[in-house]
Chain A
Amino acid sequence: MKIKEIYETMSYGPAPESADEAIQFLESHKREFKLFINGKWVKPSSNEYFETINPCTKEVLAKISEANETDVNKAVTAAKKALPEWVSIGAHKRARYLYALARQIQKHSRLFAVLESLDNGKPIRETRDIDIPIVARHFYHHAGWAQLRDTELKDYKEVGVIGQIIPWNFPLMMLAWKIAPAIAMGNTVVLKPAEYTPLTALLFAEIC
């Protein structure tokens, strides 16, 4: 657009956020994500995949594994196996892990924000200035609760492996709302993100 036109209309120009880093993350998985079980990427036993799209352009972002019963059982078994150690390390160590998670979110906040915006379709301002900072704050907040479990929350005991299903409207924020309190109190988790918006959960798994 010519300067003269802008001078007359005083419109805001486009100010796009670079998606390079997010695309790089997708490419590092060849745009085909496996399931994240027991700290490793594993092929789905169903061998079936579905697509997640950028709702703004309808462009396919990546293929996502569809887990079946076998996969879910595998994940629950792994979470069960991890439980005793996660309980026995005690409140203080759990708090340190939660704190580290919060730091990781902050460290990669721009990547999370761009990826969330691509996958969910909400404006970058929402993800960058609201969602992702809240996610980090949640983990910090629950790091505090984790630390206090044995002194201030004596009645609280872990319940075991928790299955969590989250929606697409605030994908990573919902993940934080579910995962942070659960692991803070000594539980382990099997999480299913929304089919529409699984990418930030997968990035969270990879980074954390």
Chain B
Amino acid sequence: MKVNNMTSNKIKSHHKRNEGIPFDANLFKDITINRSAVERRAATLSGRRSVKKQWQAAWLLKALSCIDLTTLAGDDTKSNVHRLCAKAQSPVRYDLLKAMEMEDADITVAAVCVYHNLISDAVEALGDSNIPIAAVSTGFPAGNIPLKEKIKQIELSVAAGATEIDIVVSRNLVLQSDWKGLYEEVAACRKACGEAHMKTILATGEIPTYSKVAKASWVSMMAGSDFIKTSTGKESINATIPVSLVMIRAIREYHELTGYKVGFKPAGGISKAKQALNWLILIKEELGDEWLNPELFRFGASSLLGDIERQLEHYVTGRYSASFRHPMA
């Protein structure tokens, strides 16, 4: 098998951004989702494939390279963020990478994700490492602030050095099926993002039906989202495989219609390496290999990285370390 040049984690310039399309309710108004079919597909997918030995190690490294290493807590401080950024730049111990012959593969996480007021600390800590900084803007996590303030927040975050913006949609627009209103809100956010890539959080844990999740996915993509993202991590139900499947199918159909590839980001509750593998399998089966890179797939996670590193150490040494052995992210 021919080995291509290693792809780095940096957003590749040749990737065509989703520019969005004019609002057209006809494209999604008839969508209905068969809940039991979705649940069945979700339940059987991960059992069909197994990724073991060096495949598991490689897949875990891939999962790691797709992580938006995140800290979104009320007690975030400068030193928290510095520690996070240090971990983002060297997520796996050098001796482990060397044992896997991956020391020159430029393994880093995909981005670090922080609140707006910590962007400057992240900029300082990341220096010229090329790791993008993602900021959660638009009144994260509830999104219940006026659109004008959302726009202002985005502009401030971009000015502060964020190159990726995670926005939250107004759930009331989704719940009231005000799709045109949602389109205008997301499109306005996209305009405010400018060059920065935009990930649109649907907060699926607060959307009552899969059909609405699919419609909200469609509207967000039409309005120009670069990524659609399941959750803020603050809802009681976060990323699940069934809801991801619904969103991924919408991405697939949108791609078939427009040619634009929209990325996908599950977030919240993904803390184990095994879960990460299941998500990669889902993406590979439903969207194909081209989606299996940080340009089009991200995990929103914090403790996942530690578990992946533990599993990699087990692969290299045959022994499991305690969960506190690896440096915190």
Contact = CB atoms under 8 A, between A and B. Distances in A.
Interface of A: 1-13, 15, 125, 129
Contacts of B3: 4-5, 8
**Residue among A1, A7, A13, A15 with most chain B CB within 10 A:** A7
B52 A7 contact: no
Contacts of B51: 12-13, 15
B54 interface: yes
B289 A4 contact: no
B55 A4 contact: no
Contacts of B52: 13, 15
B105 interface: yes
Contacts of A8: 3-4, 6-7
A7 B49 contact: no
Interface residues of B, number: 28
Nearest to B65: A7
B59 A4 contact: no
Interface string B50-68: 1111111111011000000
B1 A1 contact: yes
Interface of B: 1, 3-4, 6-7, 47-59, 61-62, 100-102, 105, 280, 284, 289, 292
A4 B59 CA distance: 10
28 contacts: A1-B1, A1-B54, A2-B54, A3-B61, A3-B100, A3-B101, A4-B3, A4-B6, A4-B101, A5-B3, A6-B54, A6-B55, A6-B59, A7-B62, A7-B102, A7-B105, A8-B4, A10-B58, A10-B59, A10-B292, A12-B49, A13-B51, A13-B52, A13-B53, A13-B55, A13-B56, A15-B50, A15-B51
Contacts of A4: 3, 6, 58, 101-102, 105
Given A8-B3, A12-B49, A125-B48, A3 B54 contact: yes
Contacts of B1: 1, 5, 9
A10 B100 contact: no
Contact of B284 (A5, A7, A10): A10
A12 B59 CA distance: 9
A3 B4 contact: no
